[in-house]
Amino acid sequence: MSESKNSDQSCVVIGASHAGVNFAFVLRREGWQGSITLIDIDPILPYHRPPLSKAYLTSEDGIEKNLLKSEESYKKENIELKLGVWVDAIDRENKKVVLADGTTLDYDKLVIATGARPIMPPIPGLDTAKNLFPLRSAADVANIRKTVVENEALKVVVIGGGYIGLETAASLKKLGASVTVLERESRILARVTAPEMSVFFQKLHADNDVAVLTEKNVISIENNQNKNTVVCSDGTRYEADMIVVGVGIHVNKELAEKAGLMIENGIQVNEMAQTSDPSIYAIGDCTFHHNIHYNRHIRLESVQNAVDQAKIAAAAIAGKECCYNAIPWFWSDQYDVKLQMVGLSEGYDEVVVREEADKPNCFSVWYFKGDTLLSVDAVNNAKAYVYGTKFIKGGEKIDKKKLSDPTAEFKPANLIAQ
């Protein structure tokens, strides 16, 4: 990329979390000489989000220990941060971003990395409940930590038995709270894992004295004399000094929608992370994109997707040929259990569970559609995660019988079908 080509150009990024920040730094590395401006409504320096419900919640660290990049790094790379700033509109015709105070920013390239926000379900009494928080931002964690510190023998109800809810439950238990998780479905993690995984995590929480209750549809929250009572449709009632809501997210697609970009289950982008407007890219949780390995359009809530799409968008803007071809991966830490996941299990018709001889609490769940390996959930078993990644990438056929035999040595040569 020649200097004359873009030194007078400006790139504006809306959203400064994993996707936006990584994009800005990679674009510089790709040789972009023009200005780069990162805008976010969150007023503090961009930080890692996954630890918020995990190690960061239980630590006493300030957010400065959890930053994506140091303040100096932005200066060094000449990346301008506009934090605590709300974007009102995208004016595509004049290639301007309109900020809440009415000022505008010109762009040659615009990147939308607006992510998602927690769903606050329309439950009567939710608005007036005391100490009720979602968990997505550093401010949410600050509120939760403050409540923990100010209340002895804190009773917590977590609404939602997904990863955020379960990680938060584990972390709050570690901080000494008494925790109940209420899940609407008949099993936890129902949307993302096989029943075998749900059973394992249900037991893990029970062993750690956290009540994880399923088929609990919360219908109202009563607040009397500063005490919350969470009421379920089956008539059961749960007292709570604090309520954490983790029932999923809404994509922040409104800006793109208002600007007339193509939207489906997220902002539509092609294999270069480009939207229906060639000057505008979208990356991270807010995008609806094609995954080449699974040959379908998906939306992903993950650091992996945020970082990989950031790299693709930066390369594309720098004029390189590129194509998004990543295999999704995720992780979750609860108590002393490390869960690593690779691939997408949706559409599986068979599950093979691999236990390891002499290693309790170390196993993996392999999801197949016919002979095709779709994904692997690895519990305390990085090896299974790594092999799964390699097999999915290579399209290997797996010997399911050997895979399920804990006495067969766990090594690729043993697992690949002859």
CB of 303 to another protein, least distance (A): 6
- Give residues 311-330 in contact with another protein (rule: CB under 8 A): 329
- For position 143 contacting another protein by CB under 8 A, the verdict is no
- For position 340 contacting another protein by CB under 8 A, the verdict is yes
- For position 51 contacting another protein by CB under 8 A, the verdict is yes
**Binding residue (CB under 8 A) for another protein from 21, 105, 126, 303:** 303
How is 138-176 classified by DSSP, letter by letter? HHHHHHHHHHHHH-TT-EEEEE--SHHHHHHHHHHHHTT
- For position 390 contacting another protein by CB under 8 A, the verdict is yes
Position 92, amino acid: R
Length of the chain: 418
Please, which residues have CB within 8 angstroms of residue 45's CB and are 6 or more apart in sequence? 63, 64, 67, 68, 69, 71, 81, 83
- For position 203 contacting another protein by CB under 8 A, the verdict is no
Alpha-carbon distance 18 to 286, whole Å?
A: 12
CB of 5 to another protein, least distance (A): 23
**Binding residue (CB under 8 A) for another protein from 292, 323, 382, 417:** 382
Nearer to another protein, 77 or 80 (CB): 77
- For position 389 contacting another protein by CB under 8 A, the verdict is yes
Tell me the C-alpha to C-alpha distance, in Å, between residue 214 and each of 84, 159, 228, 235, 410: 39, 11, 20, 14, 35
- For position 270 contacting another protein by CB under 8 A, the verdict is no
CB under 8 Å, gap of 24 or more: what pairs does 188-196 form? Answer: 188/161, 188/162, 188/212, 188/214, 189/161, 189/162, 189/163, 191/162, 192/162, 192/163, 192/345, 193/345, 193/365, 193/377, 194/345, 194/348, 194/351, 194/365, 194/367, 194/377, 196/351, 196/353, 196/365
**Binding residue (CB under 8 A) for another protein from 65, 146, 296, 320:** 65
CB of 293 to another protein, least distance (A): 16
Position 339, amino acid: L
**Binding residue (CB under 8 A) for another protein from 41, 55, 190, 219:** 55
CB of 306 to another protein, least distance (A): 9
- For position 333 contacting another protein by CB under 8 A, the verdict is yes
Contact present, 52 and 164 (Cβ < 8 Å): no
Which of the ranges 46-54, 265-273, 286-294, 319-327 carries the binding residues for another protein, by CB under 8 A? 46-54
Contact present, 177 and 156 (Cβ < 8 Å): yes
- For position 99 contacting another protein by CB under 8 A, the verdict is no
**Binding residue (CB under 8 A) for another protein from 30, 77, 356, 405:** 77
Binding site for another protein (CB under 8 A): 18, 25, 29, 48, 50-51, 54-55, 65-66, 69-70, 72-73, 76-77, 303-304, 307, 329, 331, 333, 338, 340, 382-383, 385-386, 389-390
